[in-house]
Each structure stands twice: as structure tokens, then as C-alpha cells.
Amino acid sequence: MAVIGRVALVGAGPGDPDLLTRRAVARLRAADLVLFDALVDERVLKLARRAQRFFVGKRAGRHALSQAEIHAVMIRAARRGRRVVRLKGGDPFVFGRGGEEALALQAAGIPFEIVPGVTSLLSGPSLAGIPVTHRGVAGSVLVTTGHDVEAFSAMVRGLKAPGVTLIIAMGYGRRMPLAEALLEAGWPASTPVALVAGASLPGQHVWRGTLSRLAAGEGACDGEAPTLIVVGDVAAMALVSESDLVEDEREWRMRRSEC
Amino acid sequence: MAVIGRVALVGAGPGDPDLLTRRAVARLRAADLVLFDALVDERVLKLARRAQRFFVGKRAGRHALSQAEIHAVMIRAARRGRRVVRLKGGDPFVFGRGGEEALALQAAGIPFEIVPGVTSLLSGPSLAGIPVTHRGVAGSVLVTTGHDVEAFSAMVRGLKAPGVTLIIAMGYGRRMPLAEALLEAGWPASTPVALVAGASLPGQHVWRGTLSRLAAGEGACDGEAPTLIVVGDVAAMALVSESDLVEDEREWRMRRSEC
């Protein structure tokens, strides 16, 4: 019988290596091969000390490997007995295409596991001091993407706005039509909005405003960091520590800079 | 000037200590005092080796401490210079009342930080092999609670069902009226449903069915473990490894038992 390796689909969290889970760290340390995307931090990759590292993400608008090629590489490596880590920003099953990869592994009979990660969709707002749920303010959270404005419009049209926090990934470039869609769906112009760029990373930026200000073109941020859009009453909250912690307590300090 | 300690509001993840973040582990190890809830695993608490541990949750329907008392204990301890960890199941800002605690700390001028955790609302489905988003199947996720069936009804009435995965916490005891509410809102009777009990823990259980079967009273599970309700086409998926891993590879094995 052939030696069979295994694949772990691992969530790398929002970026900061301290937000990796212990299991993610263990899998990286034991890995022979790591396949990683553009959003994975260099400090995270360094934990895979004995592994061959293989970039399979999108750079300058081009995919290094197609999804089918990624599947083929994982399956081939596992069949050769290697321990493969497929490392994804955030959580592998939250907008990570992890489902497609798990299906391919399952069909090929390769042993695999899912290692959940801290999704940036929820931790991004948290690290900006926004509780995505808050008693008497928001009791539900809708996470979605912003790449299809039409589908987004159809979905939010019937959604009751009060009490729902809306978190939009991959929508920063279309933030004006997305804000328009919410206004047309009847969300109040004064609904608070926050943009959270580069959550958990040293350059984390937060912009706070309203739906009407976003629709009017405010909220431009410099930089390439992925930017979340948070819409709802909680977006006006900024639960960050007001104290000045001493310099050597950097880990404890909430980084806050404004767009 | 008085010595000032600090408070970390720490997410403990879904239960399995391997799903703690590295930062959560560091905060627990450094803590003088840990305030914890009912859902926090004993193996997680053990990491706080030098800390006094204080149960502040709900047991047998009664709160050990009121929310205001929890705030007072945290503030008093921090003012005495202690490093306090307020440990919450999942993520502190996702149905964790962390927002209220952060507000109290902010108002009192106590240095604090939020340490995001792996929320069981998203990792629970993952560990049951359900990708909460999946290309061509589900592009949005709505997380909510089930303790107010009327509010739930109002919210889902306008929500377009196709493409949305609905995840309901704290609704297992009301699963029949919640399923009824979705049927009345026009969700198809054949919509897949999964119940995930005790996600990440040794006794993890999964039941799979449909909205109509749930409404008819199926899906009863034994045990006290918190149970999530997952509704949507992805709930029919079971992306778990089919291979039999050897006994000493327990960590890699997906635990699956049926309700």
C-alpha cells in the first residue's frame, strides 16, 4: 500500500501571528509543504521551519496557480506521504474557498482536517473597538462580500436594518455603489459606518462616518491592506483603551490611527 | 499615583484548548486573576497557572454574579495592580457581552484590550464539515440568536433565502418555532438543516435534516452541550475526511457521531 500523507486546511487568522491558534502553529511546525495565499503574513510562514513554501495566491491580478492546480499539488504531495498545510487568511471556510479544496481532497480519498482560524471579518471590527453584537443595539451579524453589487442589493432590500450589523469583505473598491444600495433599500442615511483596513497589522487604520458620507465618496484610505466595511449602529462605537501603556507593553496597546 | 493593572477580554474559542490563540495563552499564563463563564473548558483554565480563578457565569439557571458585579470586580482588581483575564467562550464581541464590559472599563479608565477568539458560531459548522460559505451555494452568513422567536421572525421575513447561511445560537430549545418562522417566511421545507452540539469537544454531535423535519420535532439530542442550528444549502455538506487515521493521530481525526 502506498504511503499516504495528509492535508490540513489551516486558518491563519487576520495577520498578526499571535492570533494563530495553537493547532495552526503545531501544523505549521510539522509541515513538509505549505501552500499559501497573498494575505498570509511572513511571520506566520516562518513558523513552518522545515517546510517547503509554495505561493499559490493572486499577485498583480494574476493567479499563480488555478484552483484545480492547487488541488492537484495538494493531492500529489499527500500521496507522496507529505504533511501538507494549505494556509489561508482568516478561516478556511469563511470566504476562503476551503470548501472546494476539502471536496477535492475528500473525492481523492486524502486524509484531511479543517483547522478553524480567527476570521478577520469578525476580529477586524473587534480590534477597531467595535463589538459586532451589543445588547440593545445589535443582535445579529450578516457577513457578505461586496464584489457583486446587484446581488448585494437584492439581499439587503428586505433585511430589517435595526439590530443587524453588516460586515462586507472585498467591497472597499465598490463602497459607493454598496452604500447607495443600502440607502435605496431604506437604511437611514445616518447609519454609522466604519472602514477597517489592515486589521491586526501594524498599519491598522479605521475610518468612521455614515452611509451618506460613504455614498458621497468619503472614506478613501491609502494602502493596499484589505479593508472591511462595517455598517450598523455598533460601527459608531470605539471600545479601545484610553490609557497610555508603557512602551514595552506594545502587545497590550491598541493601535489606532485614522484614515 | 496608584498602581494600575489591566484587563484582557479574552476569547476562549469553542472549547478545545488547541483552538485558543497564542495571545490568549500568553494572557492566561500571565494572569493574576481569571474571571470565567460556564462554557469555558477546564483544560483552558489550567493554563492560568498562577492565577486566582473566579467563576462568574450562570449555573443551574442562576447568575453567580450580576453584570454590574463582574464590572466592579474587574475594575477593583485592576486598580490594585492585578492582571485580569476576563475569559469568554468563543469571541468576546460575538454574543459575549464583551461590549458592555469594555464600556465599563473604558468609563473607569482601566487599561484593557480585546483578544479575539475563534467563535463557535463559525467554527462549529466547520468542525462538522460544513463550509459556511461555498462558491455557487452560499455567499453570505447571518449569525443570530434564537431566544426571541418574534424578533427572529421579523428579521428573516424579508431575507432572501438563496445564498444565505443562517447560524442560530441559543435557539436549540426553540428549534420548532424557529423552523416554523422560517417556513412562514417562505424558506423551502426542503432547506437543509444541521444541528451541531458541543463543537470541538470530544462529544461533538451532528444531526442533519431539513426545515420541515426540524419543525416536526426531529433533531432531539441528548446532553447539555450548546447546540448551533445551521440552515441553508451548505448544511447538507459533510466535508470530513473519510480516511481512517491511526489511533495515535487523534488530533487529526475528525470526531463524528450522529445524534
pLDDT digits (tens, 9 = 90+) for A183-233: 999 999 999 999 999 999 888 889 999 999 999 999 987 667 889 999 999
pLDDT in tens, A119-178: 999 999 999 999 999 999 999 999 999 999 999 998 888 786 678 999 999 999 999 999
Which of B20, B94, B126 is the closest to A91 by Cβ? B126
pLDDT at residue number A256:
40
Q: Which of B16, B18, B32, B37 is catalytic?
A: B37
Task: Give the C-alpha separation, A126 to B99, whole Å.
Answer: 9
Task: Using the predicted structure, report yes or no on whether residue A53 has a pLDDT greater than 80.
Answer: yes
Q: What is the pLDDT of residue A245?
A: 41
Q: Which of B16, B18, B32, B58 does the annotation list as catalytic?
A: B58
Chain A contact set for B43 (CB, 8 A) = none
Q: Which pLDDT value is given to residue B241?
A: 84
Taking residues B95-110, what's their average pLDDT? 95
Q: In what order do the strands lie in the sheet with A112-115?
A: A52-55, A33-36, A83-88, A6-11, A112-115
Q: Which of A106, A141, A148 sits opposite B143 (nearest CB)?
A: A141
pLDDT at position B128 over 90? yes
Nearest by CB to B99, which of A94, A131, A144? A131
Q: Residue B64's pLDDT band (boundaries 50, 70, 90)?
A: confident
Helix (H) or strand (E) holding A251: none
Indicate yes or no: CB of B102 within 8 angstroms of CB of A140. Answer: no
Give the residue on A whose Cα is nearest the Cα of B12: A21
Can B58 be counted among the known catalytic residues?
yes
Beta-carbon neighbour count of residue A32 at 10 Å?
Answer: 17
Residue from A23, A239, A248, A256 to probe the interface with B (highest B Cβ count within 10 Å): A239
Percentage, residues of chain B above pLDDT 90: 75
Instruction: Report how far residue B259's alpha carbon sits from residue B250's, in angstroms, rounded to the nearest whole number.
Output: 21
What whole-number distance in Å separates Cα of residue A47 and Cα of residue A143? Answer: 30
- Closest CB to A252: pick one of B21, B113, B154: B113
- Checking if the pLDDT of B26 tops 90, the result is yes
Calculate how close chain A gets to B125, using CA atoms only, in Å.
Answer: 9
Question: Which chain A residue is nearest to residue B131, measuring alpha carbons?
Answer: A93
Mean pLDDT of B180-189: 94
In the predicted structure, residue B48 carries a pLDDT above the cut 70:
yes
What whole-number percentage of chain B has pLDDT above 70? 90
pTM: 0.92
Is A243's CB within 8 Å of B110's CB? yes
Q: Which residues of A are catalytic?
A: 37, 58
Asked whether the CA dihedral B131, B98, A126, B46 is positive or negative, the reply is negative
Side chain identity, residue A252: W
Does B258 have pLDDT greater than 80? no
Q: Is the pLDDT of residue B114 over 90?
A: yes
From the CA of A16, how many Å to the nearest CA of chain B?
Answer: 10
Beta-carbon separation of A111 and B243 below 8 A: yes
Binning pLDDT at 50, 70 and 90, where does residue A63 land?
Answer: confident
Is residue A36 within 8 A of residue A90, CB to CB? The reply is: no
Neighbours of A177 (CB within 10 A): 16
Average pLDDT, chain B: 89
Of the candidates A58, A28, A30, the one whose C-alpha atom is nearest the C-alpha of residue A44 is: A28
The residue among B16, B113, B178 with the most chain A CBs within 10 A of its CB, best to mutate, is B113
